[in-house]
Every structure is written in C-alpha cells, then in structure tokens.
Amino acid sequence: MEVTKSKQEKDLYLLLMANLYDIHPNKAIPAVPWFNSHRNKASEILMEVLKNSSYIHDQFAKKTAKILMNYKSQNDIEYVKKASLLRESIDISNAMRIAMASKVIENQLVLRLRKGQSIYGPATMLILDKSFLFSLEEGEEVKFPVKLSDEITIKFSLFGDEEKLKIPEKIISLSKILGNFHYLTMMEKGIIEDQLNYKSEEHEIIIDLQLFIAKSERIKKLASKNSECDDFLNEINSKENVYEELLQILRIRETNEGYVSTIFEGNIHDRCCAGCTFF
C-alpha cells in the first residue's frame, strides 16, 4: 500500500512539473498564477502552498503532490461511506417492503423453559411482567404482549420453595437484547430468537426467547433509519470536493490507469495569466 502511494505521489509530482512548465515556463511561478481566478477552497490551498514554496516549480510540485494524496485518501473514504449508505438505503427499502406485508399487530414475547434443573430437583420459573404473572415448568412456554422497552423479572423456585434454590432474580431487558442484533436483520425478519443461560454447581437454567416485532414498530424503525441515511448522503453530497477541484485546477485527471494531464484539453483563457505564452 505504501509503495503504491509513494509511486502515485511521484507520478503526480512529475505530472505537476510538466504542467507547471507548460503554463508558467519562466524560472519562477508568478505571484498571481493561473489558479488565482478560482474562488474556492482548492485555490486558497494552492495559493498558500505557492507562498510556502517561494514560487519555485519543484517545491510547489512536491508539496502539492503530498496535499493531493492526502485529499485523495479523504475522498476515497467519503466514496466508501457513500457507497455503503446507498447500499443500506436499498436494503432498508427491501426490508420495508417485507415489513409492510406483516400481519403482526403487536409485539409478542415467547419464553420457554427449555431446562430447569438443580441438585434439589426440577426448578420452576416465575415470570413477573407489569400486567401478568406466569409460572413455567421445564418444557412449558408462554406468550404475552410487550413493549420493546420492557424489563421483565424472572424468579426461580423449587416446588414453590425459593429458599432452597439460591438463584438471584433475573431481569430480561428487551432493549439490551435488541442491542445485540443489527437493526436491519431484526426489522426485515420481524423476529428475534435468543437463549438465556444461568448455570452454577447447583443449577442449570436454559430459557428460549422469541420476540415477534409488530408491523408498526418495524416500519417506524426503518423509516427513521432511512431518514438518517438520507441526511448523511445529503451531507456528503453537499460537501465541497476539494480533491476534484484541485485536480481540475491543476489540469489533471485520475483514471483507472493512474493520473493523466488535461493541459491541452479545451482552450482556457485566464486574465491572471495574460502574459504567459501558454495562454
């Protein structure tokens, strides 16, 4: 990677030198060069580099090549971000289409006591929700409505005797469980499946969990994420592309094979360079 970057920088330097001498063939680049007429950030950067280079072709080309490589790296990162956001936007649209066909009206949680054993015998699981109280033996399950922000308390007992089975009560936080999964997968499938394990020398508890997500929740979440994608894309698109502006001003184009000069493409007249032979 470093070798490639070093070669690109060298190629840019040589190309810049050729362009500079084509535009300003004199011993020094004038204090008012051809890019002075541009009114953007790229022009400001180049004017600053020119002053720091004492108007010498070689110094200006070296410093500018390094700056171009830095802005190229930033530009590549922005390109990857944009491509990722566009891909995510498409995935959201597909997930939205699937969610729209859902028949699940409300969130439903299914808890199943897969295994409830201790050295004292089978364990019973007590589920305490805001509105419900359930008791499950090993192999049993229950299904009840929930909010995605709910926290559900579960306790364990041995034939109704909690004193013998020293297992602290557990809190099932649905928001924490949701945080373990990527939102796109959740909202596309509309169901989360997980397993909770509590094990010690005295007991082993295994709980299967299924959370069915309501159609309205899925649509709301996907719409929110799609809006975020749009905002990020608009932010990227509205940014001034300094890298492209630099290339344009310096009469260079990036291709799949590398960089090429555009010095002889078109016929540009710039009053700032009225005395230059090129113009």
Give residue-wise pLDDT tens across range 105-125.
999 999 999 999 988 888 889
Confidence check: pLDDT of 272 > 60? no
Tokens found for residue 111: 């808890």
The reported pLDDT for the residue numbered 25 is 86
Which domains does the chain carry? 2-90+234-273 (no CATH), 106-213 (2.60.40.150)
Provide the terminal-to-terminal Cα distance of the chain, rounded to the nearest Å.
Answer: 39
pLDDT in tens, 139-176: 999 999 999 999 999 988 876 555 666 778 899 999 99
Q: What is the reported pTM?
A: 0.77
Residue of 133, 115, 140, 137 whose CA lies nearest to 125: 137
**Rounded-to-integer distance, Cα 208 and Cα 186, Å:** 17
pLDDT bin (cut points 50, 70, 90) of residue 277 is very low
CA distance 201 to 163: 17
Strands (E), 170-251: 170-173, 191-199, 203-212
State pLDDT tens for residues 9-26: 998 999 999 999 988 888
pLDDT band at 274 (very low <50, low <70, confident <90, very high): very low
Q: What are phi and psi of 189, to 5 degrees?
A: -80, -35
Strand 191-199 relative to strand 170-173, pairing: unpaired
**Which pLDDT score is estimated for 193?**
96
